[in-house]
Chains A and B, each alone.
Chain A
């Protein structure tokens, strides 16, 4: 480049810069024929927030310019993701800007949704509740923020004395909860993501983290790129992206994970490789009682051994299809004391009619082999929603729960909650409400036939797409005019299709929020942009309805002194009218609610720090305990003496919420039982449903992001190549997939994103145009009431010739 060219270039650069608004301290004025100046990037203001999608709990840095989210960065300060995100996380900013955002309340008039004003909408909700408070239900989700969930909980249980509140997390991790409760007496994993950095062996039970929790999976496989050795084992019913990175793949027949777990325990005992000192010191044994109850009956070690006797490698191999050698391989790994083993699972074990059983069995293997309580040795369940742990499990927004891991069936728990809420003793109903399946079944049943739920208010979830056996549990509402469906959401969904009243909601960084992720980490963020139109936060909607009821003199929204149940006082002691939208942001409602909720968290060693401690931190893992110097210390390894402040001094391990009250965890025996529906001559295939990397749950958000939608534009049916050849079906062909409950047309993808073994098919559930849940089974686990979306009997038919040519 000669001098003249260089000068010309510089002049043009300067011209560009000047035009973009920057001052140049030195230099000639631009002249000549400069091209149209390019616009310089505006200055962005960056702030932290947890990602809106899954339960991993990555932190993102949100770049805001001109009042809009305009860029996203992985947050390098966040321990969870260390600056990395997945393709959904990098595009999370676009969830706010789909062109069909709901911006006004809508009321169905003569079959059409018509815009109405907020005061009328609030009045309608209050009318419905006032008409029959006991026949009203609230259906929420693990995407509620913690303050929202707490307000909902208090509104229903402390206000209306109505326990018909349940979240979509019932469909997602209820079996993990019952697994933890019946093993340790207290919910949520003892370990944390740090285990992924320390384990020598990672076993994934029916889990595909490469797509579902990609940042966590990368955290493991990136160790290999750095020269570390970690052995990955995939125990699954279908080959996935995760399998590609695994050292071993154990393909099992659906439901036989129960037998595999028992087979490992059998070999640990037969080979005398179980951890005797760990078992003697820290374990007790349990089996199912008759009638079956969550905490079963105690058994002796001898009985336990006898129960396991039939689960020989040969028997388990025959049942499961996993070879004897691979069963030995697993048992030998668990039998070693010199390695550290982490188990991960998510929907494969939870969406299971024996979900509680398989959860307890996997905990049991870890306890029996002593692979527990050291960094890298942990049985860890993952969650699928950003606050399934925080809002559902900790705030207890389940039909039987109270905040802080407590339950409505215990009198002392009710009394404590009534005292903290300042309501009269006896306000809280001791009888658990309807769980999700029951709630929707009753809503979709005529009142005259026992359908005792008239109105459901749905918040932050899309049951119209995600309930199993959707026709029976959701679509049936369309023929019941006396039923009233209220839906708070951000976009039109399969649920708003049948809604009678639609309330436009603010989402994510359009409001303040707190989430709790899979590793007990509580994460806070502030509002950064305004919601569009008249969209408002769910928290405000509930406060407004509560106030409307209070103003009408409804006793439910008064505390025992006659004051408004949700009265919040500002610094000057005066009540801030947060129920009035003009004053909602006069105070930080989240902070007020969080500080009230926090008192519950210390009742079962789930201590949370004050709100302000979370403002700077990238989340803190509970129990968070104040130190003598006034700082707040999080806990990585629960029940481990070296880290958990609630373990008595000198003890290596202490299960201080033991169901047997003796510091021991429970090792369960649970037999293999066949699934409620298996393939037969009429329906010869197993149907499994699930997610894909690019889309999150029902796709309400991700299907509106062009980059994600183009990568995965629609649902498909994954068919095994041999099965396809036998049926004369080719790749890309449209076929009919049907079960006893329904049928849909899907295009075939052979050996695409995954590979289903012969006799099985897989369909993702994100596509609202292909509602696979018309086909799924609503049978659920006895203890957790969680249905099984992973297995039912299906068949595939070629399209009739006329239709195929049409």
Chain B
């Protein structure tokens, strides 16, 4: 008499990704999804096993591609406190110049570093500040869903996904990629601010002073990878802002590295992790 529980139905909960693990799995997700999609589920454990193996293999292969990308340089002079007795750990960025050799297997698999050019630091910081200002103009506070700076289809999300599904850069125009998946009602959170605004007749000012974006995340020491200054919830895809289609100055200086959270620690408090401090 009682109906089938949808939780146990084919294609049910096992495919869910939670915000917490989305980022960790990003590199391998496409692969695992492809494995999962046609699953018959008559042999769930076999499929699960296959997924684990595929994920491991993918991770291994991806990892092995993270090989030296810049020619060796002189060992930098690092400033240490006088009483510092231990040699300091090199930063990820400095590893190439430390003289610590890569493992033989890594060296054997060495591939040419991807070509990318960074502007000089002054320009970079200026770019970052102008990008942050532009970003701030489109949100009420750091962390607010950005408003839509163009006309929208009033009723369907399809047109949003056409451009924001993957994101791209066209000259000066950056089209951000969605930083989150499986939300089908885009305009639920993103208010269109163009087109209709010509009719804005009320115009009562609002003194809400939204918290600004920090210029960078906190670092334990100069050169340490910054921790995330924002929550990872709804921001599972780091590359949507920090990838090639992100705003200039916010893009990663090392886009070839794919496991962001390996080096950049999230904030348990902002993520409301079980051990976080938030009430």
Contact = CB atoms under 8 A, between A and B. Distances in A.
Interface in A63-86: 63, 65, 68-77, 83-86
A91 B144 contact: yes
Interface in A127-182: none
Interface stretch (B1-9, B107-115, B168-176, B237-245): B1-9
Contacts of B122: 8, 12, 33, 35
Interface string A20-47: 1010111110000101011111101011
Contacts of A651: none
B196 A711 contact: yes
Given A41-B214, A244-B156, A753-B155, A225 B181 contact: yes
B100 interface: no
Nearest to B146: A707
Contact of A713 (B140, B184, B202): B202
Contacts of B1: 337
B104 to A, nearest CB: 27
Interface in A734-755: 747, 752-754
B206 A97 contact: yes
A71 B142 contact: yes
Given A26-B221, A99-B204, A228-B11, A68 B185 contact: no
Contacts of A86: 188-189
A218 interface: yes
A93 B141 contact: yes
A787 B121 CA distance: 66
A374 B4 CA distance: 12
A226 B182 CA distance: 7
A491 to B, nearest CB: 8
B184 A224 contact: yes
A722 B189 CA distance: 32
Interface stretch (A596-604, A655-663, A698-706): A698-706
B209 A68 contact: yes
| Chain B at the A interface: SS class | loop
B183 A222 contact: yes
B121 A5 contact: yes
Nearest to B154: A753
Contact of B6 (A25, A68, A228): A228
A6 B272 contact: no
Given A14-B222, A98-B206, A228-B11, A710 B184 contact: no
A99 B211 contact: no
A214 interface: yes
Given A225-B182, A245-B184, A76 B233 contact: yes
Interface in B1-32: 1-7, 9, 11-13, 15-16, 19
A710 B201 CA distance: 10
B165 to A, nearest CB: 13
Contact-size category for A: 35 or more
B1, B191, B223, B233 pick with most chain A CB within 10 angstroms: B191
A646 interface: no
B142 A9 contact: no
Nearest to B193: A710
Contacts of B155: 240-241, 243-244, 753-754
A585 B145 CA distance: 35
B183 A225 contact: yes
A337 B193 contact: no
A337 B189 contact: no
Contact of A5 (B97, B120, B207): B120
B229 to A, nearest CB: 7
B93 interface: yes
A97 B188 contact: no
Contacts of A93: 140-141, 208, 210
A74 B214 CA distance: 20
Given A47-B279, A337-B3, A72 B216 contact: no
A5 B216 CA distance: 18
Contacts of A215: 188
Given A13-B216, A90-B145, A707 B221 contact: no
A705 B7 CA distance: 40
A3 B231 contact: no
B263 interface: no
A217 B188 CA distance: 10
Interface in A1-21: 1, 3, 5-10, 12-14, 16-17, 20
B222 A77 contact: no
A26 B154 contact: no
A229 B187 CA distance: 23
Nearest to A40: B214
Contacts of B120: 5, 8
A41 B79 contact: no
A298 interface: no
Interface in A209-225: 210, 214-215, 217-218, 221-222, 224-225
B147 interface: yes
B215 interface: yes
A651 B253 CA distance: 65
B211 A44 contact: yes
A269 interface: no
A71 B141 contact: yes
Interface in A176-235: 198-200, 210, 214-215, 217-218, 221-222, 224-230
B219 to A, nearest CB: 8
Interface string A232-251: 00000000110111000000
B16 A226 contact: yes
Nearest to B37: A227
B143 A210 contact: no
Nearest to A277: B1
A699 to B, nearest CB: 9
B154 A752 contact: yes
A714 interface: yes
A709 interface: yes
A46 B268 CA distance: 13
B279 A24 contact: no
A222 B19 CA distance: 14
A90 B189 contact: yes
Contacts of B223: 10, 27
Contacts of B12: 227-228
A713 B199 contact: yes
Contact of A9 (B125, B187, B233): B125
Contacts of B231: 73
Nearest to A376: B6
A711 B191 contact: yes
B199 A714 contact: yes
Closest 8 CB pairs of A and B: A9-B121, A27-B222, A225-B182, A711-B191, A94-B208, A227-B11, A38-B215, A713-B200
17 contacts: A6-B93, A26-B222, A33-B122, A35-B126, A61-B272, A76-B19, A83-B272, A90-B145, A93-B141, A93-B208, A217-B188, A218-B184, A218-B188, A339-B3, A707-B144, A710-B193, A714-B199
Given A35-B122, A68-B209, A83-B234, 15 more contacts: A9-B124, A16-B215, A26-B81, A38-B215, A70-B209, A83-B272, A86-B188, A97-B206, A227-B12, A229-B6, A693-B188, A707-B144, A708-B191, A714-B201, A769-B202
Interface of A: 1, 3, 5-10, 12-14, 16-17, 20, 22, 24-28, 33, 35, 37-42, 44, 46-48, 61, 63, 65, 68-77, 83-87, 90-91, 93-94, 96-100, 198-200, 210, 214-215, 217-218, 221-222, 224-230, 240-241, 243-245, 337-340, 374, 376, 616, 693-694, 703-714, 747, 752-754, 769
